[in-house]
Chain A
């Protein structure tokens, strides 16, 4: 039986070795020098999957006017994590496959600090929302130019609620209506993932606090931060937030709301389109109201979402890349992005456009949400911070640690990460 055994040992080796090989990333290679890359010529543009298929027409518009500086669209995965992986691998290797890349607002700091991005100081940002410009800025320099933006809404049922709540206290009072109608009251995204970091930051900001303040200090051990987390924890304890919301990401919450099981839902603008269109699947399609998020006293502050545009240091045609970014930020393209691709523009004047307001019913609400929106903590080690936040907050929501314990532990852990990077 010698052979059987050798075969078995060989199988172990092969499988185990394959694992090490498959799992190890290699981040050593420095990005290629970008000094010579100031020329013009064909470039690529990489961003997440365009589910509408309309982005190509926008790019075609550029290509028609710039035959020698043609832009090729590279479609990345739909999930943000996978987009990030693709970009990281390209930037790390300095391969230069992606000249212009769509970056989630939270990636700016970690990419810029690793010296993967070209500074974009010469890009004109007048007329863009300040918060979006801020989200692409690292260490006082613009590294990622605003492309599209996003903010959370409070969705509510217009058939059950006359005026949407503007404070948490009003929201809790309105929950009596939910009880009377035997449905659940409020939900957001409370599963342990990036969405929980978003919801937690929102709660803290809406109570007047911050996760990391403007000086880069971690501030989750403050009374404001405690009030924010307490609102969510109390919600689960009192049943204002249904127990099953601990498993909710965006889609679970949307389904519950569309099925008529929720009075209030915190979610992104995309829900509006789906919930009003999905005929029989949405029992609430004619009774959806949208409002800015409520806060501790007065309206709350949404977390800023959206994508920015950055240029890879390994790009050879950076001048073309800059011009292309300027094109994507032009009023005309921004308008198309909103009407054809449902991407909220970063140009604030478009939000006051009467024609657009008639087309897109949530535009006015989105504008006020964007004006108050707060970016997530800017940190080189953002992924690490976010994982720590969502893990600790999740335990507090489950009731396995108290709000005070969770936040003092989090304060320490976050500070360690911030200090280390």
Chain B
């Protein structure tokens, strides 16, 4: 009953984490990712009075969002259709900037940045998922000093990315501690693959705890009774992990991976500080900033940021449709 006591402990110590972990398995599986959902009204669309009241409550937020997000987005898209002259008013050039970026003189930079961004996305998300998952499993166990471990694991996530980048640049310096430990003179920021892997390493170090945190929240909603039952039925640790833990924590993983993908597709500060984009580590976001702020080409920069937006959106949509839908709908028998 050791495990059972741990769950009780958790309820006492972290009531918020397990609040939604009601015994009904249907509620349970969506508990973690649903934390931010606002929604009494949505559940009962029939009650229109309540719905109208909700509308008025949400309206101020919508107005603010339209002002601070909607307007700039529309402006950026409109601006991307104009050229970047010096000393005269920009002229409408249709999709000229897009053509230039994708197939014109900027194509080489654009595709290189895209493939670099995709490389970072693929590698870091996989590494972070594996490591974050392992961290979450460890943190979910009952042992002495668990709260200390939880706090320690979260430290990298609490460090601002820019600070983290400077820290790792020093660590990966030609005379830094990494080279000292491995006893070789690797120029981490001086050639392509060492630079790329150093960035992957630093990003994984920083954000694996984020995945760990989300997965941990998912793990905590799994009732220990299910494990007890499985144990009684003779399921071994591997079987319990594959047949109970993984399916039940899947929604949390799906959302964690989604967040990370969205984040890393926009990665900017780490490579910017680490290499300034040298050695083929320039990402899409860096290209956007370079064009719009560095070269003062607002039109081209807007076009690139719109392209980045579309790419991010597409990747995320495919992910949700193909992978996410299966996981998210799995227990509902496909009703979406």
Please give the distance in Å from A247's CB to the nearest CB on chain B.
5
Q: How many Å lie between the Cα of A252 and that of B188 in the bound state?
A: 14
Take A18-B69, A19-B309 as given contacts and tell me if A383 and B295 are in contact as well, using a CB distance cutoff of 8 Å: yes
Within 8 A of A (CB), among B50-99: 68-69, 72-73, 75-77, 79-80, 82, 84, 86-87, 89-90
- The complex places the Cα of A416 from the Cα of B106 at a distance, in Å, of 12
CB-CB under 8 A for A16 and B276, given A8-B255, A21-B73: no
> Is B223's CB within 8 Å of the partner chain A?
no
A134 to B242, CA, bound (A): 72
The interface residues of chain B lying within 8 Å CB-to-CB of A160 are: none
User: Cβ of A401 < 8 Å from any Cβ of B?
Assistant: no
**B174 interface neighbour in A23, A28, A247, Cβ under 8 Å:** A247
Given contacts A4-B251, A15-B262, contact A25 B301 (CB under 8 A): yes
A23 to B290, CA, bound (A): 10
Residue A299 is within 8 A (CB to CB) of chain B in the complex: no
The 0/1 profile, CB within 8 Å of B marked 1, for residues 82-105 of chain A is 000100100000000000000000
- The answer, yes or no, to whether B191 is at the interface (CB within 8 Å) is yes
Query: Max chain A CB contacts within 10 Å: which of B188, B293, B302, B331?
Result: B293
A286 touches B (CB below 8 Å): no
Asked if B296 is an interface residue, CB under 8 A from chain A, the answer is yes
Q: Which B33-53 residues sit within 8 Å CB-CB of chain A?
A: 33-34, 36-37, 39, 42
Binds A, one of B126-134, B138-146, B227-235, B310-318: B310-318
How many of chain A's residues have a CB under 8 angstroms from any CB in B? 51
Known: A5-B325, A15-B262, A115-B87. A24 touches B316 (CB 8 A): no
Question: Which B203-225 residues have C-beta < 8 A from chain A?
Answer: none
Against B, the Cβ 8 Å flags (1 = close, 0 = not) of A374-411 are: 00000011011001000100100010000000000000
B173 at the interface (CB under 8 A from A): yes
Count how many pairs of residues, one from A and one from B, have CB atoms less than 8 Å apart in the complex: 185
Shortest CB–CB separation between residue B180 and chain A, in angstroms? 13
Interface: A250 (CB within 8 A): no
Q: B172's closest neighbor in chain A, by CB?
A: A247
B243: A residues at CB distance < 8 A:
none
* B84: chain A residues within 8 A (beta carbon): 27
Bound complex: CA of A409 vs CA of B277, how far in Å?
A: 20
Min CB–CB distance B13 → chain A (angstroms): 26
How far does the Cβ of B297 sit from chain A's closest Cβ, in whole Å?
A: 8
A255: chain B residues at CB < 8 Å are: 175
Q: Is the CB of B174 within 8 A of A244?
A: yes
CA distance A13 to B314 in the complex (A): 11
B335 cross-chain contacts in A, Cβ below 8 A? 2
Cα–Cα, bound, A4→B107 (Å): 38
Classify the secondary structure of A's interface with B.
Answer: helix
Binary interface profile of A, 10-49, with partner B (CB < 8 Å = 1, else 0)? 0111011111110111111010000000000000000000
Contact A246 B316 (CB under 8 A): no
Interface centre among A28, A85, A115 (most CB of B within 10 A): A28
1/0 contact trace for B3-42 toward A, CB 8 Å?
0000000000000000000000000011001101101001
Interface centre among A3, A27, A115, A192 (most CB of B within 10 A): A27
Are B324 and A8 in contact (CB-based, < 8 A)? yes
Chain B residues, Cβ within 8 Å of A25: 292-293, 296, 298, 301-302
CB distance A16 to B313 under 8 Å? yes
Contact A192 B33 (CB under 8 A): no
Query: Bound complex: CA of A394 vs CA of B282, how far in Å?
Result: 15
Smallest CB separation, A125 vs chain B (Å): 25
Q: Are B30 and A3 in contact (CB under 8 A)?
A: yes
Could you name 30 residue pairs across A and B whose Cβ atoms are closer than 8 Å? A1-B30, A1-B328, A1-B329, A4-B34, A5-B320, A5-B336, A7-B33, A7-B34, A7-B36, A11-B259, A11-B262, A12-B262, A15-B259, A19-B309, A19-B312, A21-B72, A23-B288, A24-B79, A24-B301, A85-B293, A113-B86, A114-B86, A114-B87, A191-B189, A191-B190, A244-B190, A247-B188, A383-B295, A384-B294, A416-B105
Q: State the 6 A-B residue pairs at the shortest beta-carbon distance, nearest first.
A: A192-B278, A24-B76, A27-B298, A244-B174, A25-B292, A21-B72
Having A20-B76, A28-B90, one finds 19 other A-B pairs with CB under 8 Å, namely A1-B251, A3-B39, A8-B258, A12-B312, A12-B317, A15-B266, A19-B305, A21-B68, A24-B72, A24-B79, A26-B75, A27-B84, A27-B296, A114-B87, A246-B187, A247-B173, A255-B175, A383-B296, A384-B295
